[in-house]
Structure 1
Amino acid sequence: MLIRLLDVIFAFFGLFFGFPVLVILTIIGLFDTGSPIFCQQRVGRNKKPFTLVKFRTMKPDTAHVASHLANASAITPFGGFLRRTKLDELPQLWNVLCGDMSLVGPRPSLFNQQELIAERERLNVLAARPGITGLAQVNDIDMSTPELLAKTDAQMLATLTIANYFKYIFMTVSGKGSGDRVKR
């Protein structure tokens, strides 16, 4: 309950105070891809679908696959900057405010990532709200290793305290973790 309250407070203030940055990134994104906002159906809490909102980092005609299956040539120069700085994640504060996500939790998968979904279901990870960051993200574990990712997510949820919540957020903001890997 406290984590949800913190999510709402941080998401609200992040959107409020970050609004000028969001506008600037949107305008730059218009020139970069012509379509700066990326929306995609993802697996939410209890396998309920929700629409994830991010800044677009790849060319608009890129196939909707997990990042580790996408080609690096699809990433635009501005998209590369957004990924390195993790600014592509800022619009997800809206998902947090709406209750689809938490700041800290397992990254939401695509519905076609059946192996990951099955592992997460087996480990009861899908009972939690997906998150923007978490233990796997700050340790460079991505969706290319579904069993390890699901196991790490389960470990994070079993040990999630207020202190760890702040720890994962701080580690992410300070640059720990490389974000979603894209094959070179």
Structure 2
Amino acid sequence: MSRVLNGIVAVCPDLGIGCHGNLPWHPVRLNNEFKHFRRMTATASVKDKQNVVIMGRKTWFSIPEKNRPLNNRINIVLSRELKAPPAGAHHLAPDFSSALRLVDMELAEQVDQELMESTGTRRLFVTQILKQFECDTFLPEICLDKYRLLPEFPGVPQELQEENGVQYRFEVYESIDE
């Protein structure tokens, strides 16, 4: 069995993911989209285990303090500036590779060791927001020579969603074996 790394993100048409430390559509609330995020990140595929969420320092501090850490998940914050995990975070790592090594070595009792010995599949769970908002932080373009859009994925609605006048759809991309 190989490791599956899942990324989850909501993006505007120009691949914008943030503006001034908030989501681009702030203060508009997309409660169902947030429930989707919570379900996808908090529901572990192995009974009695927890998922690990890895996020940057700015994302960590954009989460309201009362909601940190993200419940039922092991929270790892990435930062080259911080010397200790911020209050509430479980771990601190200087970069993504170090965070993965932390999962492999220090958190191995929470994850099947065989799972940790392979780079494995990568999936991107993308919420495509169909309205443009002002953005100052962007997701790199998804390379379609490395990822394919899946026609469907269990637990991910296929139909167009709408909340508070904002339409969006869920997409799942999976890495292409090389």
TM-score (norm 2): 0.29
Query: Which is greater in Rg?
Result: 2
Which has the bigger relative contact order, CA under 8 A and spacing at least 6?
A: 2
Flag the structure with higher helix content.
1
Flag the structure with higher strand content.
2
